[in-house]
Amino acid sequence: MNFTFIYSTAMLLLMLTDPFGNLPVFISTLKHVPKRRHLRVLFRELCIALVAMIFALTFGHSFFGLLQIEGGTLSIAGGLILLLTGIKMVFSTLAEVKEETKEEPFIVPMAIPLICGPGVIAILSTLCGSTPEATYPNCLCALLLAWAIQTAILCGGHRIARRLDRRVLNAIESLMGLLLVCLAVGLLLRGINQTYGL
Compute CA distances 136 → 14, 40, 61, 140, 198, whole Å: 18, 30, 12, 6, 28
Is 70 exceeded by the pLDDT of residue 59? yes
| 22 occurs within a structural domain | yes
Task: Count Cα neighbours of 35 within 13 Å in the Cβ-side half-sphere.
Answer: 2
pLDDT (tens digit per residue) in 131-147: 889 999 999 999 999 99
Give me the pLDDT at residue 71, please.
66
* Number of domains the chain contains: 1
| 197 occurs within a structural domain | no
**More confident site: 160 or 100:** 160
Name the range with the highest mean pLDDT among 11-15, 109-113, 172-176. Answer: 11-15
| 153 occurs within a structural domain | yes
Q: Which sign, positive or negative, has the C-alpha torsion 160, 165, 168, 169?
A: positive
**C-alpha angle 175/180/181, rounded to 5°?**
100
- How confident is residue 194, by pLDDT bands cut at 50, 70 and 90? confident
| 59 occurs within a structural domain | yes
Can you tell me the distance from the alpha carbon of 124 to that of 96, in angstroms, rounded to the nearest whole number? 29
Residue-number span of the structural domain to which 144 is assigned: 3-192
Give me the pLDDT at residue 167, please.
75
Percent of the chain with pLDDT over 90: 25
Give me the pLDDT at residue 139, please.
95
pTM: 0.75
| 112 occurs within a structural domain | yes
Is 80 exceeded by the pLDDT of residue 172? no
Give me the pLDDT at residue 98, please.
45
Do residues 194 and 75 make contact, with C-beta atoms less than 8 angstroms apart?
Answer: yes
Give me the pLDDT at residue 198, please.
63
pLDDT (tens digit per residue) in 63-104: 877 887 776 776 777 778 778 877 877 776 544 444 445 678
| 108 occurs within a structural domain | yes
- How confident is residue 19, by pLDDT bands cut at 50, 70 and 90? confident
Of the candidate ranges 115-119, 146-150, 169-173, 190-194, the one whose mean pLDDT is the lowest: 169-173
| 27 occurs within a structural domain | yes
| 122 occurs within a structural domain | yes
